[in-house]
């Protein structure tokens, strides 16, 4: 009996601690997500990535902290003005976090999409010499992300960007890319309607779709 | 500046983060281990961390390019000041690399001269890997041979490896003065490492150069590739899975239709023709390992009338039938505790059947190579690579018409080890030893190699490499004298390399000392050397010089160009030469310019390559001495045009020697004087004034994802 009650106490303690930790996790995530939204400069994005990396260290079972660290670093890479070497270093760091996230949650459409986004970044560092090789890899990766979840608007809008680049390169019309932009916009609407409040699931990318709609698909 | 006063009950940790040079580091991740509390250092390296935690904690400093550092701190509501100096870690991406003698083509690494895709698109290369390397510094274009001649070395001094394993007879068999090509499709490879000297202890049995080709890891998707060319065609099918893939291809070529349309300088009885088939498979092994297998088999032939100087008529008829198989299996695996392994087995079998008027010769050359390598990384600064190799060589010559037969077999056991020590990101030392033993020659040798590299503040780097290199003489001589020992060369190389923002500068000075080269008397040189006598190992010589390479992908929009110049001063006593001479394959001044320009509205890439040298040395028996004459300068201007109308279609058109310049590579002389007392000579020319190539490459892919996309 004594043994039994001790076990109950221990279990309750664990439950309490887990709850405390969960609350701290949620609080930390909320804070970092807010800061990432506000971050503009590569420096601010790097700080935001640091924040997510700290959470990832504490919560080794969660894929979202590493996912957001990868996203912040990839965006820092795109916005960096420090030359090829710094951009490559940022994308390499982003890749590490994305791979970690993927090890925690395999076959996750969002993580595969971010991996493709990072490949796009590496391509953008030196399109002349990397384009031929990496554009195929990026499209393949986005294709896989869409296959894993056909409702993932980010995978679709990123694929639309690649399709647009290909169409421009080969002097073809933007119809295919614009079709993707439209379906991604629909999915973004749907996502906004069904999103649980306070959830940390990725929701970014709508501006990208609106921008493409505005500039090339009118 | 904002003044932060510690709030009651909260501790404040602050300070300044610097590196070893005293520069402040921004963006360092600073946190209390085991908590969500943390911050980042500012642009000026300062940081401030306010926390309500109490007790003993570990404060961690973490950032790219430095080693993480930890401090035990006690938080009691007061202000702590911690200003660490973080030590740099060795960063594979930015650390110095040894670039002496090396020219790397890779998509993944930094210190590279070319990207793999650049190789396929050099116009003068006509899709041959080696053709592209001939536009790089240190190599000489020998247009009547086609193989790789590096810094005064002959073609046999370059060893070729695929995935680290030796390839025997990498070039197709050909008649004298008919240029040959590499047997392997450039699309097989994702990268290459071309060394013109001073290379790693991992490679041996090559006096001048090692060319290591790495095959593609995993294809992206299922696809079929069709090629239709002016010379033939082929089909390749790729099946790609999650963990494995298989590619099979078959190709054929026949030059007769082409040669019936375009006039040739050569007198062909049967134009070159042939087929090849290959299969390659890949399998992922565990988390990070991969196993590859590759099999290539081909058969080809030609029949040509070779003019004999001083005689009337078409000359001598030479027929060649070649059968070749190359197979290999290799593996790579990453173990625990800093261990990694790779290795494999390769087998090459080359059979030549040569008809020479009434003579029927059959030569068979086999090489069986196996290799296992283990690398141990003791830290990010120090690693040791050790490998064990076995080479089995078998060579057989049959004089079928006479029923004669001779052969030899040789086994080499090799042990090599190499240590890399990074003093910092700026300075690296490498030392290696290669020990070998030949059963046939009953010889044991030890070749030490050393190199070091230093990286300057401006990103440029200086490398120095030196080493000893050993190579057994060619089979055709070893079969005559089985006691022949290694020929030897010593290399000394000083290299400067800078690659920054789309521009690459490379300059290199070298000295190569040859010893124990083979000399002989030869009864007949044409149409193939025969009747060797007095084979001795008393040859020697040297090659010295420098080369320059400049590549720019930035200055002109959509344009990539490179310029190379190599100066080679080489003299050696070898082969039939009684004194030191400048070899025919070692022109003094060599250069090339390659320009590629992408024209967006036409979806086309235009390529121009220009190669030149100051002329080839040759022996004129009408003059005193040996190698006493020189041809006029060699010049070639090639043009290429690649058109991409759709993502899966490429049309490629190329033309070599556009101006139809009459190139002469040397002269062949009669072995006896004519009635006027002179040796009659005939010039060695190109096959045809120009070579035209047209190819259509179509990729068919039922990309499932693409279909899914269209259904959205």
* pLDDT digits 0-9 by tens, B571-590: 999 999 989 999 999 999 99
Q: For residues B177 and B528, what is the distance between their CA atoms, to the nearest angstrom?
A: 10
Quickly list DSSP for chain A.
-HHHHHHHHHHHHHHHHHHHHHHHHHHHHHHHHHHHHH--SHHHHHHHHHHHHHHHHH-TT-SHHHHHHHHHHHHHHHH--SHHHHHHHHHHHHHHHHHHHHHHSTT-HHHHHHHHHHHHHHHHHSHHHHHHHHHHHHHHHHHHHHHH-TT-HHHHHHHHHHHHHHHHHTT--SHHHHHHHHHHHHHHHHHHHHPPTT-------HHHHHHHHHHH--
The reported pLDDT for the residue numbered A169 is 79
Q: How many CB atoms lie within 10 A of CB B56?
A: 10
Please tell me what DSSP assigns to residue B633: P
The reported pLDDT for the residue numbered B222 is 85
Q: Look at A147 and B705 and tell me if their CB atoms are within 8 Å.
A: yes
Residues of A in contact with B219 (CB under 8 A): none
Q: For residues A211 and A189, what is the distance between their CA atoms, to the nearest angstrom?
A: 15
The reported pLDDT for the residue numbered A3 is 63
Whether pLDDT at B88 is above 90: no
Range A23-26, long-range pairs (CB < 8 A, 24+ positions): A24/B36, A25/A55, A25/A58, A25/A59, A25/A62, A25/B36, A26/A198, A26/A200
The residues facing B159 across adjacent strands are: B210
How would residue B187 be classed by pLDDT, with cut points 50, 70 and 90? confident
Q: Could you tell me the two tokens for A29?
A: 């995530």
**Backbone φ and ψ of B388, nearest 5°:** -125, 130
Tell which CATH classification among 3.50.50.60, 2.60.40.10, 3.90.550.10, 2.60.40.1120 matches the domain B11-86: 2.60.40.1120
ipTM of the complex: 0.86
Among the ranges given (A89-93, B24-28, B253-257, B260-264), the one the predictor scored with the smallest mean pLDDT: B260-264
Which H/E stretch holds residue B574?
A: none
Q: What is the mean pLDDT of residues A171-175?
A: 84
Q: For residues B161 and B324, what is the distance between their CA atoms, to the nearest angstrom?
A: 16
Which of B47, B219, B709, B711 to probe the A interface (max A CBs under 10 A)?
B709
Domain boundaries, chain B: 11-86, 102-707
Q: Could you tell me the two tokens for B171?
A: 């070039």
Q: Is B116 helix (H, G, I), strand (E, B) or coil?
A: helix
Q: Could you tell me the two tokens for A211?
A: 């921008």
Q: Look at A92 and B502 and tell me if their CB atoms are within 8 Å.
A: no
Cα B494 to chain center, whole Å? 19
Q: Look at A55 and B34 and tell me if their CB atoms are within 8 Å.
A: no
Measuring CA to CA, how many Å separate B638 from each of A202, B124, B137, B265?
A: 53, 5, 18, 19
The residues facing A182 across adjacent strands are: none
Whether pLDDT at B709 is above 60: no
Please tell me what DSSP assigns to residue B659: T
How would residue B368 be classed by pLDDT, with cut points 50, 70 and 90? very high
Q: Look at B38 and A50 and tell me if their CB atoms are within 8 Å.
A: yes
Q: Look at A55 and B118 and tell me if their CB atoms are within 8 Å.
A: no
Q: Look at A143 and B603 and tell me if their CB atoms are within 8 Å.
A: no
Residues of A in contact with B221 (CB under 8 A): 140
Q: How many CB atoms lie within 10 A of CB B183?
A: 23
Q: Does B5 touch chain A (CB under 8 A)?
A: no
Between B544 and B155, the more confident residue is B544
How would residue B107 be classed by pLDDT, with cut points 50, 70 and 90? low
Q: Does B425 touch chain A (CB under 8 A)?
A: no
B204-218 tens-digit pLDDT: 999 999 999 988 888
Task: Give the position of tokens 């079929």.
Answer: B224
Q: Does A146 touch chain B (CB under 8 A)?
A: yes
Q: For residues B199 and B451, what is the distance between their CA atoms, to the nearest angstrom?
A: 9
The reported pLDDT for the residue numbered B707 is 36
The reported pLDDT for the residue numbered B105 is 76
Q: For residues B510 and B100, what is the distance between their CA atoms, to the nearest angstrom?
A: 10
Three-state secondary structure along B196-255? CCCCCCCCCCCCCEEEEEEECCCCCCCEEEEEEECCEEEEEEEEECCCEEEEEEEEEEEC
The reported pLDDT for the residue numbered B142 is 84
Q: How many CB atoms lie within 10 A of CB B339?
A: 12
Among the ranges given (A209-213, B84-88, B176-180, B562-566), the one the predictor scored with the smallest mean pLDDT: B176-180
Q: Are B300 and B274 in contact (CB under 8 A)?
A: yes
Nearest in space to B700 (alpha carbons), one of B646, B662, B631: B646
Q: Does A79 touch chain B (CB under 8 A)?
A: no
Q: For residues A169 and B646, what is the distance between their CA atoms, to the nearest angstrom?
A: 9
Which of A48, A50, A90, A95 to probe the B interface (max B CBs under 10 A)?
A50
Q: For residues B669 and B253, what is the distance between their CA atoms, to the nearest angstrom?
A: 33
Q: Look at A143 and B558 and tell me if their CB atoms are within 8 Å.
A: no
Phi-psi sector, B355: left (phi>0), alpha (psi -120 to 50), beta: beta
Among the ranges given (A4-18, A69-83, A182-196, B117-131), the one the predictor scored with the smallest mean pLDDT: A4-18
Task: Give the position of tokens 């990123």.
Answer: A158
Q: Does A46 touch chain B (CB under 8 A)?
A: yes
Q: Are B51 and B13 in contact (CB under 8 A)?
A: yes
Q: Which residue of B has its CA nearest to A49?
A: B29
The residues facing B192 across adjacent strands are: B105, B213
B40-62 tens-digit pLDDT: 999 999 999 998 889 999 999 99
Q: What is the mean pLDDT of residues B374-389?
A: 95
Whether pLDDT at B38 is above 60: yes
Q: Does B647 touch chain A (CB under 8 A)?
A: yes
Q: Does B94 touch chain A (CB under 8 A)?
A: yes
Q: Does B26 touch chain A (CB under 8 A)?
A: yes
Nearest in space to B635 (alpha carbons), one of B606, B656, B605, B654: B656
Whether pLDDT at B462 is above 70: yes
A-B contacts (CB, under 8 Å): 94
Please tell me what DSSP assigns to residue B584: T
Q: Look at A84 and B501 and tell me if their CB atoms are within 8 Å.
A: yes
Cβ neighbors of B336 (< 8 A, separation 6 or more) are none
Q: How far is A2 from chain B (nearest CA, A)?
A: 32
Residues of B in contact with A58 (CB under 8 A): 34-36
Q: Are B549 and B504 in contact (CB under 8 A)?
A: yes
The reported pLDDT for the residue numbered A127 is 82
Q: Does B645 touch chain A (CB under 8 A)?
A: yes
B115-139 tens-digit pLDDT: 766 776 788 777 788 888 888 888 8
Nearest beta carbon to residue A83 from set B501, B600, B645: B501
Measuring CA to CA, how many Å separate A196 from each of A61, A62, A199?
A: 21, 18, 6
Q: Look at A170 and B712 and tell me if their CB atoms are within 8 Å.
A: no
Mean pLDDT across chain B, nearest whole number?
89
Cα B651 to chain center, whole Å? 27
Whether pLDDT at B1 is above 60: no
Phi-psi sector, B541: left (phi>0), alpha (psi -120 to 50), beta: left
Q: Does B55 touch chain A (CB under 8 A)?
A: no
Nearest beta carbon to residue A128 from set B560, B645, B706: B560
Q: Does B52 touch chain A (CB under 8 A)?
A: no
Torsion of CA B175, B176, B179, B184, to 10 degrees: 50
- Domain B102-707 matching CATH 3.30.380.10: the answer reads no
A148-166 tens-digit pLDDT: 999 999 999 999 999 998 8
B639-686 tens-digit pLDDT: 999 888 877 788 889 999 999 999 899 998 888 888 898 999 889 988
Q: Does A20 touch chain B (CB under 8 A)?
A: no
Q: For residues B608 and B614, what is the distance between their CA atoms, to the nearest angstrom?
A: 20
């Amino acid at each position: 009996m004594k043994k039994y009650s001790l076990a109950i106490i221990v279990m309750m303690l664990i439950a309490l601690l887990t709850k405390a930790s969960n609350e701290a996790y949620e609080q930390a995530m909320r804070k970092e997500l807010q800061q990432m939204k506000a971050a503009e400069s590569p420096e601010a994005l790097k700080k935001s990535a640091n924040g997510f990396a700290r959470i990832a260290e504490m919560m080794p079972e969660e894929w979202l902290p590493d996912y957001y660290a990868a996203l912040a670093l990839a965006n820092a890479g795109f916005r960096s003005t420090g030359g090829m070497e710094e951009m490559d270093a940022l994308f390499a760091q982003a890749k590490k976090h994305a791979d970690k996230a993927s090890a925690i949650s395999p076959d996750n459409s969002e993580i595969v999409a971010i991996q493709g986004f990072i490949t796009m970044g590496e391509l953008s560092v030196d399109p002349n010499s990397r384009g031929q090789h990496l554009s195929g890899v990026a499209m393949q990766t986005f294709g896989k992300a869409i296959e894993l979840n056909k409702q993932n608007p980010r995978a679709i809008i990123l694929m639309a960007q690649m399709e647009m680049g290909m169409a421009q390169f080969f002097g073809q019309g933007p119809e295919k890319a614009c079709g993707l932009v439209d379906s991604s916009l629909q999915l973004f609407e749907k996502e906004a309607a069904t999103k649980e409040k306070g959830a940390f699931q990725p929701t970014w990318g709508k501006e990208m779709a609106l921008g493409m709609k505005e500039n090339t698909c009118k | 500046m904002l003044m932060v006063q510690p709030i009651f009950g909260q501790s404040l940790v602050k300070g300044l983060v610097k590196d070893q040079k005293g520069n402040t580091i921004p963006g360092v991740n600073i946190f209390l281990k085991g908590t969500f509390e943390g911050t980042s250092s500012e642009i000026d390296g300062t940081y401030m961390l306010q926390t309500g935690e109490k007790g003993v904690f570990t404060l961690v400093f973490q950032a790219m390019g430095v080693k993480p550092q930890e401090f035990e701190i006690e938080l009691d509501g007061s202000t702590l000041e911690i200003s660490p100096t973080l030590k740099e870690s060795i960063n594979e991406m930015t650390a110095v690399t040894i670039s002496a003698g090396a020219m790397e083509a890779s998509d993944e690494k930094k210190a590279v001269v070319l990207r793999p895709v650049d190789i396929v698109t050099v116009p003068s290369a006509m899709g041959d890997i080696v053709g592209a390397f001939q536009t790089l510094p240190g190599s000489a274009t020998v247009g009547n041979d086609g193989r790789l001649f590096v810094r005064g070395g002959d073609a046999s001094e370059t060893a070729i490896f695929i995935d680290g394993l030796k390839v025997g007879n990498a070039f197709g068999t050909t008649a004298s003065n008919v240029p040959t090509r590499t047997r392997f499709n450039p699309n097989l490879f994702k990268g290459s490492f071309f060394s013109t000297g001073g290379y790693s202890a991992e490679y041996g049995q090559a006096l001048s150069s090692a060319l290591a080709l790495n095959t593609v890891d995993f294809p992206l998707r299922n696809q079929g590739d069709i090629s239709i060319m002016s010379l033939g065609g082929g089909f390749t099918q790729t099946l790609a899975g999650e963990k494995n893939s298989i590619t099979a291809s078959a190709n054929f070529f026949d030059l007769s239709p082409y040669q019936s349309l375009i006039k040739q300088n050569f007198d062909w009885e049967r134009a070159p023709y042939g087929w090849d088939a290959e299969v390659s498979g890949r399998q992922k092994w565990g988390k990070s390992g991969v196993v590859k297998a590759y099999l290539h088999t081909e058969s080809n032939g030609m029949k040509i009338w070779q003019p004999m100087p001083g005689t009337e008529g078409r000359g001598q008829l030479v027929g060649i039938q070649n059968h070749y198989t190359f197979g290999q299996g290799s593996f790579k695996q990453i173990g625990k505790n800093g261990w990694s392994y790779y290795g494999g087995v390769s087998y090459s079998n080359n059979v030549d059947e040569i008809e020479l008027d009434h003579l029927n010769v059959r030569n068979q050359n086999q090489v069986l190579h196996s290799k296992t390598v283990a690398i141990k990384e003791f830290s990010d600064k120090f690693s040791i690579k050790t490998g064990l190799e076995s080479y089995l060589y078998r060579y057989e010559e049959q004089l079928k018409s006479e029923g004669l037969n001779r052969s030899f077999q040789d086994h080499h056991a090799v042990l090599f080890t190499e240590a890399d020590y990074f003093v910092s990101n700026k300075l690296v030392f490498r030392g290696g030893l290669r020990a070998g033993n030949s059963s046939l020659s009953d010889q044991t040798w030890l070749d030490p190699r050393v190199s070091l590299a230093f990286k300057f503040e401006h990103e440029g780097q200086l490398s120095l490499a030196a080493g000893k290199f050993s190579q057994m003489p060619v089979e055709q001589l070893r079969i005559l004298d089985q006691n022949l020992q290694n020929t030897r060369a010593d290399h000394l190389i000083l290299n400067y390399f800078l690659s920054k923002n789309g521009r690459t500068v490379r300059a290199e000075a070298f000295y190569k000392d040859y010893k124990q080269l083979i000399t002989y008397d030869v009864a007949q040189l044409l149409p193939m050397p025969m009747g060797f006598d007095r084979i001795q190992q008393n040859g020697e010589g040297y090659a010295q010089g420098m080369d320059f390479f400049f590549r720019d992908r930035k200055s002109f929009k959509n344009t990539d160009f490179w310029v190379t110049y190599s100066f080679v001063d080489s003299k050696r006593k070898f082969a039939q030469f009684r004194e030191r001479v400048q070899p025919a394959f070692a022109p003094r001044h060599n250069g090339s310019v390659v320009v590629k320009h992408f024209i967006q509205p036409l979806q086309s890439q235009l390529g121009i390559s220009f190669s030149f040298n100051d002329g080839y040395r040759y022996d004129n028996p009408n003059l005193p001495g040996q190698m006493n004459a020189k041809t006029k300068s060699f010049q070639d201007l090639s043009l290429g045009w690649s058109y991409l109308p759709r993502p899966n279609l490429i049309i490629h058109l190329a033309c070599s020697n556009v101006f139809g310049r009459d190139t002469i590579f040397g002269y062949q002389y009669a072995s006896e004087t004519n009635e006027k007392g002179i040796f009659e000579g005939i010039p060695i020319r190109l096959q045809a004034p120009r070579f035209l190539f047209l190819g259509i490459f179509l990729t068919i892919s039922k990309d499932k994802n693409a279909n899914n996309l269209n259904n959205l």
